Amino acid sequence: MQLTRSLTTRCSLGQDVAGLPLLTIDNDFAKARVSLFGAHVLSYQRHGEPASIWLSDKAVLDGNKPIRGGIPVCWPWFGQPPARVGSGKPAHGFARTTLWSLDGVSERNDGTLIHLSMRDSEATHALWPHSFTLELDVMVGKALSLVLTTRNTGNAPLIYSAALHSYLHISAPENVSVAGLGELYTGILIPREARQQGDLRLHGAIDRIYHQPESTITVRDGKRITQVVSSNNDSVVVWTPWLEGATAMADMSSDGYRTMLCVEAAITDQAGVTVPSEGEHYLSTTII
Ligand code: TA6
């Protein structure tokens, strides 16, 4: 039986097709859906505008695998597990495949604010030996804003890396240019350093860590302008799998790459961020 319950006048809690808890927000500014599986923003669309966030039409939403599209929370490591974590652990950490708790929803003049959290458990200790609380505040308003706060509740320092892996919806790659990435980048697939000349245009697969980004990245898509504003990140990751990559992924249609571009506020430095015992650190992104 499908049960949906209103939490506020603008936000209800129901279930997705697989029965996982799903928040649906429809306020004066926008519509959005947020799954508690991974604290994953699945969609965000301002009224009268095209969708800002892309979700794969083949995304697996049954809780058995990370969701392709939306905004995966990559934490406590970005990409393949670093040496300090050890091999054989899931790419992009475990936050995106954990069921989070809903701590509260409130209506404000500028939108709907959702508080989500997860904490360490036997399952997380098997992958990462730290005590922590991880919180995600999602603001659905005229902009979509995410603040990820890592709180160290253990006695020893913890080191983390992360990304708010935003899949932006685009009209077509040939219409898109990206400004504000800065010059220096490292390729992820072919690890080599290179320099960006001018704005980024999309002509093939891209998987890059930009090390000197401005706080605002501007994505021009024809007449449409999307800004990705980040803070406390050390880099911005840009990813498009292009045709070969999309075809190789079971959870993306082969032409799926034509309508998405990932622009991610990230902490990718090998050294990570050290959070002392009882300390906290946040990473945020706002999509305008
Ligand atoms: O953020 C870019 C990236 O790390 C790419 O290397 C690419 O593989 C992508 O994320 C998707 O990763 P996933 O584990 O979700 O398939």
What is the b/e burial string over 63-80, where b = at least 16 CB atoms within 10 angstroms of the residue's CB? beebbbbbbbbbbbbbbe
Atom of ligand 1 nearest to the CA of 96: 15
For 49-73, write each residue's pLDDT tens digit.
999 999 999 999 999 999 999 999 9
- 239-246 long-range contacts, CB within 8 A, separation 24+: 239/188, 239/206, 239/207, 239/208, 239/264, 240/173, 240/202, 240/205, 240/206, 241/205, 241/207, 242/204, 242/205, 242/206, 244/205, 245/205
Quick one: what percent of the chain has pLDDT higher than 70?
99
CA distance 17 to 23: 13
Ligand 1 atom closest to the CA of 78, numbered from 1: 4
- 2 pLDDT band, cuts 50/70/90, is low
Query: What kind and span of H or E run contains 288?
Result: none
Ligand 1 centroid to 79 CA: how many Å? 7
Tell me the one-letter amino acid at 145.
Answer: S
Give the pLDDT confidence of 170-179 residue by residue, as tens digits. Answer: 999 999 999 9
> Nearest 10 degrees: CA dihedral of 239, 57, 248, 160?
40
Confidence band of 12 (pLDDT split at 50, 70, 90): very high
The ligand 1 atom at the shortest distance from the C-alpha of residue 264 is: 1
Q: In which band, very low, low, confident or very high, does the pLDDT at 111 lie, cut at 50, 70 and 90?
A: very high
Decide if pLDDT at 187 tops 70. Answer: yes
- With a threshold of 0.85, does the pTM exceed it? yes
For the record, the structure tokens of 99 come out as 């069921």
Mean pLDDT of 232-244: 98
Rounded Cα gap, residues 285 and 120, in angstroms: 24
Residues flanking ligand 1, CB < 6 Å: 66, 79, 91-92, 165, 188, 207, 237, 239, 262, 264
Per cent of the chain over pLDDT 90 is 96
- Band the pLDDT of 86: cuts 50, 70, 90: very high
Q: What is the mean pLDDT of residues 217-238?
A: 98
